[in-house]
Amino acid sequence: GECSAFKERFMECLRHSGYESAACRHSAKAYLECRMERRVQLMANEPLEKLGFKDLINEKSEEKPEK
């Protein structure tokens, strides 16, 4: 249940988008990150690039203001 809030946000996004998974990639990424961070055998830790989220990682780093 540690990641159930992330799962619910993802499922809600899918329902609102007519089950168009591409519209919910940010939610999917957050859910998978939660599962990988919880080292209770929820999911093996994999690089997000390998899971198809490379573009979202680059997007995240571009949003951060440089000091």
Token pair 């998974």 is found at 21
User: What angle (nearest 5°) sits at the alpha carbon of residue 29, between those of residues 23 and 30?
Assistant: 110
Q: Is there a domain that residue 8 lies in?
A: yes
Q: Is there a domain that residue 66 lies in?
A: no
More confident residue, 43 or 8: 8
Residue 59 has pLDDT above 80, yes or no: no
- With a pLDDT cut of 90, the percent of the chain lying above it is 37
Q: Is there a domain that residue 67 lies in?
A: no
- With a pLDDT cut of 70, the percent of the chain lying above it is 78
Cα→Cα distances 33→16, 23, 38, Å: 22, 18, 9
Contact present, 24 and 13 (Cβ < 8 Å): yes
More confident residue, 13 or 67: 13
Domain residue limits at 15: 3-60
Q: Which pTM was predicted? A: 0.62
